[in-house]
Amino acid sequence: MVSLSNAFDVVVVGGGPGGSSTAALLGKQGKKVLLVDKAQFPRDKTCGDAVSGKSGNVLRELGLVDIVEKSPHEEVWGITFSSPKGTIVSVDFPSQYGHPQGYICRRFIYDNLLFQNAKRFAEVWERFRVTDIIRENGFVVGVKGKHLDTGKEEEVRAKIVVGADGATSVVATKLGLNLLLPEHHCGALRAYYSGISGLTQHIEIHFLDGLIPGYFWIFPLSNGEANVGVGMVTSDIRKRNVNLKQAMMDVIEKNPVFKERFKNAKMIGDIKGWNLPFGSYRRKAHGNGFLLVGDAASLIDPFSGEGIGNAMTSGSYAAKTIEKAFEKNDFCEVVLKEYEDSLWECIGSDLKTSHRLQRLGKNRFLLNWVLGKAARNKELRETISGMIANRESKTSLISPVFYLKLLFM
Ligand SMILES: Cc1cc2nc3c(=O)[nH]c(=O)nc-3n(C[C@H](O)[C@H](O)[C@H](O)COP(=O)(O)OP(=O)(O)OC[C@H]3O[C@@H](n4cnc5c(N)ncnc54)[C@H](O)[C@@H]3O)c2cc1C
């Protein structure tokens, strides 16, 4: 038996960083918001747990910086790379007013902080799985779903539906927008480890033979443990028939450097994998009565694999456009287009640069050469630090002039 519940101004499907940010910001505006998630929070999300400075702006908008900084996390003060040849380069990030450039915070903790905050401003249904959207006269006007504890099916009506339901988004799929494009999609795995030697407050990204064009990461956690993983573009996994799990275990068990560092290490729990839809392809993320945010809108950085910051940023832009739509009392595609235009104005050029960097990163010779130079040259290390910390434009990294200058460094 299907029951029809009250109508809301907005229904947000998915309570990850994208959905929880959207729901809280809309609720603060005074909108009647329903946030639904199929999970019971706190819940885990397979991830590297690296929360970069990009999330900082939205955390400030939400008033959550202090709360995150009081929760268990590791501060990130730099980055360590290694090249396929084994050259190691460590770059410190400058302190910004005493704050680090990012955190490593388990998603079990981080997402729960955002989700509990959203509860202050929105009605929340946990363990409610959305199964379909409701369409009338060419508009999305609500969602259908099931309460997982009772089996009760329910339809919810709203002026706007926000699809924030991640990489396998039901909302995007039902709208025919969730295309899996292997060139713009990545497969990745992660596992938690204790007992790895040589951990610092740097995140580690290692470009290793057998794994490029992907990389192997070690991200230190607050309790001496670390988040360890690998990721590779799906078209490359298929072309080269890579078994990612085997590739990760080969690095840990056979690579001389990591074999030594993992000598006393223990895996905690299992290796888990999930999908990353990249923002190197611009997915349509708005239409009559709906918006998509975060992974549902395919916004992950195609070089770093970072998606939390863009999920939260898209939530912030979505809330602003929705506010204007309510002022006009018009929820059509033309009005909601402003969301996508303003979002891409903000993150589009960075995504484009990262896509070109991803392609440059496939070149083993170039990786060895640039990282070899950086290991010997302080000025170059400082330039790279500035680019990663967003003090200097990352676009230099894709400019031929940058590489010409390197010849003389
Ligand atoms: C292995 C791996 C490592 C990564 N490492 C990093 C990293 O270090 N840093 C970084 O910034 N990004 C990283 N990412 C990407 C990052 O995890 C995502 O970009 C981010 O989680 C996107 O947030 P979101 O809110 O859009 O979606 P999600 O966090 O996926 O949240 C979606 C929510 O929707 C809910 N949901 C799904 N379907 C339904 C449904 N039908 N009904 C109701 N609810 C539903 C889910 O339960 C979930 O809570 C990594 C990804 C992977 C796979």
| CA-closest residue to ligand 1 atom 26 | 294
Question: One digit per residue, pLDDT tens: the chain, 409 residues?
Answer: 455 556 999 999 999 999 999 999 999 999 999 999 999 999 999 999 999 888 999 999 999 999 999 999 999 888 898 988 888 888 888 766 567 778 999 999 999 999 999 999 999 999 999 999 999 999 999 999 999 999 999 999 999 999 999 999 999 999 999 988 999 999 999 999 999 999 999 999 999 988 887 899 999 998 899 999 999 999 999 999 999 999 999 999 999 999 999 999 999 999 999 999 999 999 999 999 999 999 999 999 998 899 999 999 999 999 999 999 999 999 999 999 999 999 999 999 989 988 888 887 777 877 777 777 777 877 777 777 766 666 555 666 656 666 656 556 5
Which atom of ligand 1 lies nearest, measured to the CA of 273? 1
**Cβ of 302 below 6 Å from ligand 1:** no
Asked whether residue 151 is assigned to any structural domain, the reply reads: yes
CB of 19 closer than 6 A to ligand 1? yes
Q: Is the CB of 390 under 6 A from ligand 1?
A: no
Q: Which of 34, 155, 295 to mutate to test the pocket of ligand 1 (most atoms within 8 A of CB)?
A: 295
So what's the pLDDT on residue 375? 79
- Residue from 41, 45, 248 to probe ligand 1 pocket by mutation (most atoms less than 8 Å from CB): 45
Ligand 1 and 102: CB distance under 6 A: no
18 lines ligand 1 (CB under 6 A): yes
Q: Which range of residues forms the domain containing residue 323?
A: 2-72+104-180+279-357
- pLDDT in the model for residue 376: 80
Distance 239 CA to ligand 1 centre (A): 26
Cα separation, 387 vs 382, whole angstroms? 9
The residue contributing the CA closest to ligand 1 atom 29 is: 16
Q: Which atom of ligand 1 is nearest to the CA of 54?
A: 11
209 lies in a domain? no
188 lines ligand 1 (CB under 6 A): yes
- 65, part of any domain: yes
Atom of ligand 1 nearest to the CA of 186: 53
Any atom of ligand 1 within 6 Å of the Cβ of 208: no
What residue owns the CA closest to ligand 1's atom 15?
307
pTM of the model: 0.94
- Whether 87 maps to a domain, the answer reads no
| 318 in a structural domain | yes
Identify whether 18 is part of a domain. yes
What would the two tokens of residue 239 be? 């072309």
Does the CB atom of residue 299 touch ligand 1 within 6 A? no
When divided into structural domains, the chain yields a total of 1
Any ligand 1 atom below 6 A from CB of 15: yes
106 lines ligand 1 (CB under 6 A): no
Of 368, 370, 373, 381, the C-alpha closest to 409 is 373
25 occurs within a structural domain = yes
- Give 403 Cα–ligand 1 centroid separation in angstroms: 36
Say yes or no: CB of residue 53 within 6 Å of ligand 1: no
CB 264 within 8 A of CB 197: yes
> With a 6 A CB cut-off, is 50 part of the ligand 1 pocket?
yes
Specify the CATH number for the domain of residue 168: 3.50.50.60
Other residues' Cβ atoms within 10 Å of the Cβ of residue 51:
24
Query: Has residue 311 been placed in a domain?
Result: yes
Predicted pLDDT of residue 366:
78
